[in-house]
Amino acid sequence: MESAILKINLRETEGSKANKRLRKEGLVPGNVFGKGQPSVAVVIRRDELKKGLTRHGRFALFKLEEEKGKIFDAMVKDIQVDPITREYVHVDFQQIKLSEEVKATVPVRVDGRESLEFRKLLLVHQMDAIPVKGMPQDIPNTLDIDGSKLNAGDNVFVGDIPYPTGIVPDINPEHLVLSVSEAKVNRAETEEDTTTEA
């Protein structure tokens, strides 16, 4: 899988005041961390980061290209979001080697929810995301479960989920991810319906 490209610049000044000024200019301060290497302070345009994540996903491989020619192969490790504006305020990148295994926590997505709702079935999540490990280029953006095939009383465990080739769960496969039960019908509504029919 080819890495997506993000343009970055090295951050010359650090500190809360400098970061605040950068954010006002539409920039997001961040850091690039590497195993056994000092972190590198960087800055990226907010719209560039947003576009990259929207197009390629949270767990995509990125080539961080710095204007002087330095390139980092990296994945997004953490993003801080302003609780009011919902804008990105800080990003951490983890420098990786394409030949080394990485770990990530991938969200669970259930397709076919409308089928469950139509059958008056209730989906109960025990886990919203699953820790996995594998080569960085194989990490998926989501782990998908087909809800249309689930019935009342069904349980889905970590080991039941289909994983991409080369990706394995980094947690006990017997952990419960979600369960399906019949939606409880309000007793008052049931009695009202019976009275109306009578």
pLDDT digits over 113-164, tens only?
A: 898 889 899 989 999 999 999 998 898 889 999 999 999 999 999 999 999 9
Mean pLDDT of the region 3-8: 88
Task: Quote the longest CA-to-CA distance of the chain.
Answer: 81
Whether residue 194 is predicted with pLDDT greater than 90 in this model: the reply is no
Query: Predicted confidence band at 180 (pLDDT cuts at 50, 70, 90)?
Result: very high
Residue 144: count of CB within 10 angstroms of its CB:
14
Per-residue confidence band for 70, with pLDDT thresholds at 50, 70 and 90? confident
Q: Give a yes or no: residue 194 inside a domain.
A: no
Q: Within a domain: residue 192? A: no
Q: Is 80 exceeded by the pLDDT of residue 1? A: no
Residue-level pLDDT at 186? 52
d(CA 171, CA 29): 33
DSSP H or E stretch at residue 110: strand 102-111
pLDDT of residue 188: 46
Average pLDDT, the chain: 87
pLDDT (tens digit per residue) in 82-115: 999 999 999 999 998 888 898 889 999 999 889 8
From the list 30, 49, 33, 25, the residue with the least C-alpha distance to 41 is: 30
Return the SS3 of 198. Answer: coil
Total domains, the chain: 2
Report how far residue 192's alpha carbon sits from residue 23's, in angstroms, rounded to the nearest whole number: 57
76 and 124 assigned to the same domain = no
Residue 59: the pLDDT is 83
Q: Which helix (H) or strand (E) holds 37?
A: strand 37-45
Per-residue model confidence (pLDDT) at position 179: 94
Asked whether residue 190 is assigned to any structural domain, the reply reads no
Final residue of a structural domain among 95, 129, 148:
95
Is residue 91 a part of any domain in this protein? yes
Max mean pLDDT range (54-63, 140-149, 170-179, 181-190): 170-179
**Structure tokens given for 141:** 């953006």
Residues 178, 116: Cα–Cα separation, whole Å? 13
Identify whether residues 18 and 82 lie together within a single domain. Answer: yes
pLDDT, position 6 = 93
Q: Are strands 102-111 and 143-146 parallel, antiparallel or unpaired?
A: parallel
166 or 198, higher pLDDT: 166
**Structural domain that includes position 158:** 102-182
Q: In what order do the strands lie in the sheet with 143-146?
A: 143-146, 102-111, 129-134, 168-169
- Both 109 and 68 in one domain: the answer is no
Q: Are residues 120 and 153 in the same domain?
A: yes
CA 116 – CA 123 distance, rounded (Å): 8
CATH number reported for the structural domain that contains residue 71 in this entry: 2.40.240.10
| pLDDT level of residue 198 (50, 70, 90 thresholds) | very low
